[in-house]
Chain A
Amino acid sequence: MSDSNDMTERNSTQSRRRFLALGGATGAAALAGCSSILGGGDGGDGGSGETDTGVGQVSLSDFRGSGPLVAQRDAPGGTSIEELPDLSGELTLYLGGGEGGLYLDLIELLEQRYPDFTANHRLEASGDLANTIIEENEAGASPADVFMSIDAGSLGAVANAGATASLPEEALSTVPEAYQDSEGRWVGIAGRARAIPYNTNEVAESDIPSTVQEFPEAAALENSMGWAPSYGAFQSFVTAMRLIRGDDETMSWLQAMQDHGITTYDDEFRVSNACADGELTAGFANHYYTLRVQSARESSPIGLAFTEGDAGALVNVSGLEIINGTDNADLASNFVRHVLSAEAQEFFATRTFAYPMIPGVAPVGDLPRIDELNPPDINLTELADVAGTVDLLRDAGVL
């Protein structure tokens, strides 16, 4: 099934931008949940030979996705769950954000592996859950043991309200400092890089500017770009721009982009699809949408570029934190370590096309490694000021 012979150009040139040319493989996301795909073939060290996926028997191949982007991967490095204490007991997990649903699969795998472990989960919009946790904390104690959210801002809001407990040092030490709270109150588990999907038939990689500020002047992209300003990730990007450049310059940029001609979409998956369809020449989107497009549609002419050192290169993270007052602190800590294990990170990389947070696990395809990206120097917790951004977007006539 993993028809991977067309995998091309495993080029290790560390360019600031990558051109991802993939095709041929038909592995659809629809099949991503099938187990044992790797079991009979290219198994990793932790999983080779373990084709039995009965209860309690979960192999690396179960954590790993399938399809063209995933084929021929090296075994992940880092701490394997084999080395961690067993998970046991009942954990109450608040999952923030619609895409947090993707993480449910990981939780299910862990539950399969540890029959004594149950994660009682609650999935809501990340901001709502942050509010809920803060209210719960103020009223006494939150029922949640762990808050796992797709959005660092909501993690920061809960942390700033003093509703977190300390994370295990073993977990914090595996993740680069840029992707965790400076006080160690939350830690990233998967990264999402801001990126520029573009149509490879329309423009060449060199037509994509290397800073966000240059986009309004890029002639090749006039009247052919798209964005999704109501989308949370885009708003984080604008928040980052405000932090770096200030409100006035951000406002001018937003207006300049509108003058340049830009189309509004609901979400960035649609922006990315539109680039692949040639409806757009380029757009602003999180990187993994392009990978999802590629994974689902063979030979689609879509490439991915990154800007450098500015808001356009923001790497936001999904992360988690342990909630204040948990009576399950040991289990929660152990759970955090599991999420940062080699297998779980392989899951994020291959199933959700996110950036793994531990250096031992590589991102899929030709994505630059997380330490090869050049993100802006900002504290992700500060991305919590969404309100100011919403006001600004509104004033600029974008929202």
Chain B
Amino acid sequence: MGTKDRYERLREQATASERDSSPQTLLAVVSLAISLLLLAPLVWVFLRAGEIEFARAMELVTSDTTVSVTLNTLALVTGVTVASIFIGVPLAILTAQTDLPFKRFWTITSALPLVVPSYIGAFAFVSAFGPRGVLADLLAPLGIDQIPTIYGLHGAILVLTLFTYPYVFLTTRASLLSFDGTVVEAARTLNHTRWEAFRRVTLPQIAPGIAAGALLVALYALSDFGTPAIMQYDVFTRMIYNEFGARRLDYASVLSMLLLVMALGILAVESRLNAGRDGAYVSSGSRRPGLIRLGYWKVPALLFCGTIASLCLVLPIGILVQWLLRSGTGYSGGGFAFDAAYAWNSVGLAAAAAAICVVAALPIAYLSARGSSGFSSLPERATYVGYAVPGVVLGLALVYLGLRYVPFLYQSVILLVFAYVIRFLPQAVGTTESSILQVDPSYIEAARSLGYHPLSAFRKVVLPLVAPGIAAGAALVFLTTMKELPATLMLRPTGFETFVTYIWLVQGAGYYGQAAVPALVLVGLSGLSMLVILRREDTS
């Protein structure tokens, strides 16, 4: 009997059964409460925008600058998303389904760029390919004194893509690993070439996985400030930052609203692509497709992996080392001395954010995975909105709301961690949900029939099984929190420094050498958490 049938049936059973029990209502209430709490700070944007007269608002929205920035942002988001798919999907296929040599090594190098903060990556690219960068120095003796500029749209797309494509890589790889290989074999026997089989069978099945990663990439590209700023390309975030700096709050809030609208648009597109999403995560067969023999393609494939790893890892690390060597540790005055406490502050904040995110993600992910109504995935969708909010907007919103409504939390670690949860919860929700979808729903029923209350059944049976997914979600939140800058600067307690605020401080003062060591340590620590994410594959 068809395994597919069996899963569909199990799923129907699961949804049907929970229709009858109160836990789902409770779950829905809890999830909704969490997502409302997380979205509440965004009300600030609307409050600010609401202060503007309608005619003025229309004028701002339709101004040439707004239109061109909107188009720029669309171009950047589209470019980064498409480019990430073109890098992330081939890498995922190469490492998951071919006889590529040193696959494990390339898997790690392909995932690792996620740990490099994109602003450090952008600095590295400017240092390397900027007007007076390393490349220009190398080419100068050859008589080439003009190289194409790294600044602008293409530079911003390049840098953002190289440091965010791992989202697509990781989700696509997960889909491929849980993918039933027999269907590809079926397609091959139906006279499809490998390529046709991939296009007509594999691709549709892993598409939801690709889309899940692409969603994170698109929203990240929308919310990132550092890279477009360094690459001198005008997008919403850069404009918003400049407008806030100039204290034109009305225009800043209008731009923030447009950004949120674009985020909702991206979510809508992804939801549509993912209409049959569940299938993507649930492995309906245990057979992996046979390895694709690369043959003559081995060399280009290795070159591809090597090039990406060089650009994403060797280059930024090389530039950091160069800073270190060229300028020594630089200025070593008291104000610039690195204090080990900064490292602990970073790790502590990131661990707290990760812990809270996985706890908050559980009900939301569970509801989304097992819920019976269209409403069930609403809280899950809502968490993604927070992910798209630029740190500076979130920072100001929490400054404003914190001061007025929870003054005792203002400039406290609690409010800062709350900001991280708003921004990074969807990463935990995504991995947790995909793990839950892989757990046979009848486990809970079996446990209940053996006398367990639904909650204890969940704790005893589902939780141990989804633990690797939860750990991966925690690791993802951990490493993104470690590198978050704008909200950290605005919301941390006075006198409280972290890795990134320290790097920002010394870099801002021009002491690049001072920034190198903490930046390398930051990348190293985050790299460890990436191993947790990759280990999950071994257990699931």
Contacts and interface: CB of A to CB of B under 8 A. Distances in A.
B1 interface: no
B490 A101 contact: no
A101 B126 contact: no
B218 to A, nearest CB: 25
Contact of A387 (B130, B243, B335, B505): B243
Contact of A124 (B126, B336, B489): B489
Contacts of B242: 386-387, 390
B411 A143 contact: yes
A102 B246 CA distance: 24
Nearest to B247: A157
B508 to A, nearest CB: 2
A243 to B, nearest CB: 15
Contacts of B248: 387
A266 B328 contact: no
B180 to A, nearest CB: 51
A361 interface: no
Nearest to B401: A139
Contacts of B507: 98
B399 A135 contact: yes
B131 interface: yes
A367 B329 CA distance: 28
B232 A399 contact: yes
Interface residues of B, number: 49
B404 interface: yes
Contacts of A101: 335-336, 505-506, 508-509
A32 B333 contact: yes
Given A264-B131, A265-B132, A390-B242, A105 B333 contact: yes
Interface in A83-141: 92, 94, 97-99, 101-105, 107-109, 120-125, 127-128, 130-132, 134-136, 139-140
B198 interface: no
B484 interface: no
Nearest to A352: B509
Nearest to B335: A104
Contact of A386 (B246, B335, B410): B246
A230 B130 CA distance: 14
Interface magnitude class on chain A: 35 or more
Nearest to B492: A122
A391 interface: yes
Interface in A246-286: 263-267, 269-270, 274, 279
A270 B245 contact: no
Contacts of A99: 508-510
B494 interface: yes
A107 B334 CA distance: 9
Interface in B302-348: 328-336
Nearest to B245: A127
Nearest to A154: B245
Contacts of B392: 128
A92 B494 contact: yes
A139 B410 CA distance: 11
Given A92-B494, A274-B132, A386-B245, A266 B509 contact: no
A210 to B, nearest CB: 28
A33 interface: yes
Nearest to A389: B246
B70 to A, nearest CB: 15
Given A128-B392, A269-B510, A394 B333 contact: no
A1 interface: no
B151 interface: yes
10 smallest beta-carbon distances between A and B, as pairs: A98-B508, A104-B335, A387-B246, A127-B245, A139-B403, A33-B333, A108-B334, A105-B333, A122-B494, A105-B335
8 contacts: A107-B335, A121-B494, A128-B245, A132-B399, A143-B411, A263-B132, A274-B132, A292-B510
Interface of A: 28-30, 32-33, 92, 94, 97-99, 101-105, 107-109, 120-125, 127-128, 130-132, 134-136, 139-140, 143, 157, 230, 263-267, 269-270, 274, 279, 292, 351, 384-388, 390-391, 394, 399
Given A122-B494, A127-B245, A131-B244, 20 more contacts: A29-B331, A97-B508, A98-B509, A101-B509, A102-B509, A104-B335, A108-B333, A122-B495, A125-B489, A128-B489, A128-B490, A143-B410, A266-B130, A266-B230, A267-B510, A270-B132, A386-B245, A387-B243, A394-B65, A399-B232
